[in-house]
Structure 1
Amino acid sequence: MSVTASAAAFWDLNDVSYLMPLPRKVGEDQLLSFKSQGRGGPLFPARFMDTIPPLSPVMTPDQTNEYMRVIAMRIDPCFPLPTPQSCQRQLRLVWQPLEEGRFKAQTVDAAIHAFYVLTDEEFISLLNDLQAWKDKYKINTAGMPLQVHPIWARAKEDATSITDFNNIVLKYAGVENLTRVTAMVLRGAGDMWAFGGFDVKGGKLQMFKIHRTDRAAQAFINRAIPADHFDQGMISPAPEGDDTLNKIVVNSANMQVGNEDLIRKEVYAAMRIENPKIFNPENMDCVSCHVAQTARDWAFKKRPDINYVDLFQAGGYMNPKYNLQNVTPILGHTQNIRAFGYFIENVAISQRVINESAEVADIINQFVSSQR
């Protein structure tokens, strides 16, 4: 099976990572839910939530199951499994619970990331279907930063484009090919987050150890008020060695004059953690990946007296073919550690996801060019 002529068009960031629009009202939306039927059955079996810790202290398990929605989709032609040196074709879905906000639906600050494995032929078929969907709605994504997909940014909430997109997801994802689940749960007063990962084996979830730790769970705390710094923080368990962020995120007030070398060291670590050419999900711990952007952004804003240019040139991700601008409106919020989705009502995209999307687009563009 080969890529069609239309799929040989240039793939950009919004062609490999798709952020859905938030609906106006919870329960009256078109977003995919636990009840949606995909390959071999449910898109995500609700029974798996009995194994995953409760996502939020403000929702009952029944409410969580009822209001979980797919708020983002990503594709990946080369996820580093079954070994870090090999490739697995994947479609991945990001789920968040919805709740009523002041003016429209908003999200609870918790998420599930579901991984669906595809064969080579299925992945090529997915590329063809996504390109046909893009052609149908006549949108040009070239040079645009990663954002709510441009088709939905201009369309009404009940647009058929969402239904058509959902049908593509349901064609390629379901309990039949769901192989991994990761979760970020909210704790405390909205100032503690815990992470865990599970492999799907024999129809059940089996927890695995988080990389760079010897534990099956990892937590992050930041009690800063206002959330423009880090206070009473903790990474538990904290990774050791190089490429760690353990000092800034504990108490950034301690990072004043006299700590320039330490700040540069941790900013350099953050840049490397955000660089998919250096680290991937199979060799980086959850918390470091999720807090790298907020730690780096704090340093840029609060310690602008320090020169970081040489650090970026040494460890930062660069790819001039794509617009790597981050459009997240709350970049300075140190309690926003969302990777790809929403922080309450705000779009929240990490630089790591933007950089990964550029790498994925590169791989796909090279592949489709070879098929011409």
Structure 2
Amino acid sequence: MKIVSIFVLFFLGFSTSAMAAWDLNDVSYLMPLPKVIGSDNLLRIKDEGSQGPLLPRQVLSVVPPLSPVMTSAEAEENLRVIAVRIDPCFPLPTPMACQKQIRFVWQPLEIGFRQQTSTVDAALHSFYILTDAEFDELLLDLAAWKNKFSPQTQNLPLQIHPAWKAEGDQSPAFIEFNSIVKKYAGTRKLTRVTSMVVRGAGDMWAFAGFAIKDNQLKLFMVPRLDRQSQAFVNFAVPADHFERGMISPQPTGNDSFSKITTNSDRYQVGETTPEHEEVILKELRAMHRIENPHAFNPENMDCVSCHVALSGRSWIEKNRPDLGLQTIADAFAYKNARYNLENKSTNVHNTQSLRAFGYFGNELAISQRVINESAAVADQINQYVESLK
């Protein structure tokens, strides 16, 4: 890539003089749910990237079934790319300090209530490694795309991307964006796949990760555990609390939580002792730190803790404001005044919504961890582009 080219685009539409040029929605792209499944323009498994099929069919034969009511054939037909993320420095146990990546989040679509498009509560996350030159070219392509369609992203919270929020998957900006990301994704660049599958009556979720080498998928250990998978259960009805909840296996240490998510009713106002209140504050501290990319990354934090931290923290903040929680937030929550870190999820208090970046049914579901990570990535890219000046 020619540095002069990135300079041209930098001054055409990406000036960092006032605020960050690359904002949250410039590094994490959330797709729209289509009105009609089948004639939609969302990317599918069978779609070809420059590096081969976006996801090899054998993945679905190795990964546990996404849902007990969906066959592998149905999953293959209905899986769509729901979100795309770029990352200049994903930590992986390789000889490199970090990997440059583009990543896809996949969810199966289905016809839901009132014939509206909905999603199955399950997901795959595919990771594609890029060389330094490829990542630079990706930034260049995205900068040109943004300059062409002029979506307003500055200081917006993470959401369905503004470029296609109005027209959905029929938007020319959406179709052209998909053409761009297909240039950098495909089987030959695929290094890992992680899965979240749903079980029971939608009250149990299992997580696992697979490294891919020589076209073979191999389970890897869940961080902080000596196991290759992890599960979470929550039988709460309605899903505004935690009941008979369980993280299995349960990680230990100061940055772990389990009491609130086992039975939150024990920690309601009027039910607690000073010892209970100490537990609440300890677990809130852990949840804030788990959401903070300066404290933990995907290589040293287990799956369930990461996915449940938002609903656990939201329960505490909603039900125990009497404990003076701001002191904990001030000390341990991620802060970055350069971006709007507001969470626009439809219902952050839903204790059975474990989605990190996508949809719960047809409702927007974004974890605070993803918002915070997007801010950290935007910082890295802005600093990188600035260094080219």
Shorter-chain TM-score: which interval?
over 0.9
Residue 229 (structure 1) aligned to one of 241, 259, 264: 241
Tell me by how many angstroms 1:157 deviates.
3.4
Q: Is residue 2:339 matched to residue 1:322? A: yes
Aligned partners of 1:255, 1:46: CA distance in 2, in Å?
Answer: 46
Does residue 1:6 correspond to 2:9, yes or no? yes
Offset of residue 105 of structure 1 = 1.1
Q: Is the 8 A contact 1:82 1:88 kept in 2?
A: no
SS of equivalent residue, structure 1 residue 77: strand
Structure 2 Cα separation of the partners of residues 91 and 298 of structure 1: 33
Within the alignment, does 1:110 sit opposite 2:122 as a pair?
yes
Secondary structure of the corresponding residue to residue 95 of structure 1:
strand
Aligned to 2:259: 247
Deviation at 1:85, TM superposition (A): 8.2
Amino acid at match of 1:365: N
Q: Does 1:201 align with 2:213?
A: yes
Alignment match of 2:65 (pick from 54, 72, 89): 54
Q: 1:32 maps to what in 2?
A: 43
Q: 2:175 aligns with which of 163, 166, 176?
A: 163
State the Cα deviation string for residues 77-109 of structure 1 (Å, max 9, x = none). 000123598111000000000001224211000
The answer on whether the counterparts of 1:4 and 1:128 sit within 8 Å (CA) in structure 2 is no
Separation of aligned partners in 2, 1:265 and 1:23:
42
Asked if the contact 1:23/1:104 (under 8 Å) is kept, the reply is no
Structure 1 match to 2:203: 191
Select 1:265's aligned residue among 268, 279, 282. 282
Residue 39 of structure 1 contacts residue 175 of structure 1 at CA under 8 Å; is this kept in 2?
Answer: no
**10-19 vs 37-46, which moves further:** 37-46
Deviation at 1:158, TM superposition (A): 1.3
* 1:221-270 alpha-carbon deviations (Å, 9 max, x no partner): 00100000000110000001111111111111122321110000000000
- The aligned residue for residue 279 of structure 1 is 296
Does the 8 Å CA contact 1:221/1:234 hold for their aligned counterparts?
yes
How far residue 51 of structure 1 moved from its aligned partner, in angstroms, is 0.5
1:89–1:156 CA distance, 2 compared to 1 (3 A): closer
Give the match's secondary structure for 2:259. coil
Contact 1:39 1:177 in 2 (8 A): no
Secondary structure of 1:151's aligned partner: coil
Is residue 220 of structure 2 the alignment partner of residue 220 of structure 1?
no
Q: Deviations over 1:177-211 (max 9, x none)?
A: 00010000000000000000000011011000101
- The reply to whether residue 134 of structure 1 matches residue 146 of structure 2 is yes
Q: Which one-letter code corresponds to 1:304 in the other structure?
A: P
Q: Is the 8 A contact 1:183 1:196 kept in 2?
A: yes
> Secondary structure of the equivalent of 1:327?
coil
Name the residue aligned to 1:343: 360
Report the Cα offset of residue 162 of structure 1.
Answer: 1.6
Does residue 368 of structure 1 match 2:371? no
Match of 2:29 among 7, 18, 43: 18
Q: How far apart are 1:288 and its partner, in Å? A: 0.2
Q: Please report how far the alpha carbon of residue 358 of structure 1 lies from its aligned counterpart in structure 2 after TM superposition.
A: 0.2
> SS of the counterpart of 2:32?
coil
Deviation readout 1:141-175 (Å, 9 max, x if unpaired): 10000000001112243122121011111100000
Structure 1 residues 270 and 100, CA gap change in structure 2 (3 angstroms): same
Question: Hey, what does 2:81 align to over in structure 1?
Answer: 70
Consecutive unaligned residues of structure 1, counting only runs of 5 or more, are: none
One-letter amino acid of the counterpart of residue 341, structure 1: G
Aligned AA (2:375): A
* Match of residue 376 from structure 2: 359
Correspondence for 2:163: 151
2:222 partner amino acid: I
Residue 91 (str. 1) matches residue 108 (str. 2):
no
Q: Distance in 1 between matches of 2:167 and 2:261?
A: 40
Deviation of the 1:340 alpha carbon: 0.2
TM-score, normalised relative to structure 2: 0.94
Name the Cα RMSD after superposition.
1.2
Contact 1:295 1:334 in 2 (8 A): yes
Distance in 1, matches of 2:163 and 2:374, equals 18
State the percentage of identical aligned residues. Answer: 56
Query: What is the CA–CA distance in structure 2 between the aligned matches of 1:183 and 1:223, rounded to whole Å?
Result: 21
Q: Which amino acid aligns with 2:111?
A: E
What is the TM-score with the length of structure 1 in the denominator? Answer: 0.98
Residues 65 and 7 (structure 1 numbering): CA distance in 2 closer, same or farther, change over 3 Å? farther
Indicate if the aligned counterparts of 1:7 and 1:132 stay in contact, CA closer than 8 A. Answer: no
Q: Which moved more, 1:239-248 or 1:221-230?
A: 239-248
